A = this chain, B = another copy of it.
Amino acid sequence: MRSKIIHDGQKKKASFIEEARRRQIVEGAISTIASAGLPQASLARIAQDVGVSKGVISYHFAGKDELIQQVVNALFAETNRFIKARVDRAPDAPRRLRAFIEASFEFMAANRANFVALVDIWGSFGSPEAKRRFNADMYDPCRHHLEGILRRGQDSGDFRDFSPGTLAATVQGAIDGVMLQWVFDEEAIDLADCAAELVTMFDLATRRRA
């Protein structure tokens, strides 16, 4: 049987091997994409890097599209889990915002390949519809998380009055934009300095005016 996880209406427990292989292949795909670029990351090459036959990928995934989708899911899930844990540990809104930014950069620095792969992938959504779907599935939740932080900071009186949606997009944008430059050339960007600068800036920009 093929692709239990995807096709079965009622999920049967996927076997040990099924889960292990899926993880292995997804991770292999990330590192192949990061080191060679998406266009060069053919199923054959990914399989070779992982050390299995090409057919294994076809057996465990419905196709390349599903594999890439799972890669994206894994990248976002891992990142968001890390950030959320840091944010939840902070006691008030200003510090949650700060934690969000700092955790983002910290995770980047520790997982460069993930972000190199992500940048390669996010330029590969052909149609405008695919782009919107990616935005809705992956980007919206991030912004929503940020928006919640900002909104609660306004409720508590820590933050001034601004549009939470716009500011969320701005915060997320600043993080991603710096990340992008760093993906292109690690040495052109000092991640820690940029993180510190952004923390200061967004603190100034959100605090209630004195």
Contacts and interface: CB of A to CB of B under 8 A. Distances in A.
Nearest to A198: B170
Tally of this chain's copies: 2
Nearest to A120: B123
A85 interface: no
A174 interface: yes
B35 A184 contact: no
B181 A37 contact: no
Contacts of A120: 123-124
Nearest to A180: B176
Interface string A182-210: 01110011100110011011101100000
A172 B183 contact: no
B121 A123 contact: yes
A144 to B, nearest CB: 11
Interface of A: 35-40, 116, 119-128, 130-132, 134-136, 139-140, 143, 162-163, 165-167, 169-170, 172-181, 183-185, 188-190, 193-194, 197-198, 200-202, 204-205
Chain A interface, >50% SS class: helix
28 contacts: A37-B124, A116-B131, A119-B123, A123-B124, A135-B181, A139-B181, A139-B185, A139-B188, A143-B188, A166-B193, A170-B197, A170-B198, A170-B201, A172-B177, A173-B175, A173-B177, A173-B178, A173-B179, A174-B177, A175-B177, A176-B176, A176-B180, A177-B180, A180-B180, A200-B205, A201-B201, A201-B204, A205-B205
A135 B197 contact: no
Nearest to A166: B193
A37 B39 CA distance: 13
Contacts of A183: 131
Contact of A174 (B135, B165, B170): B170
Contacts of A116: 128, 131
A70 to B, nearest CB: 18
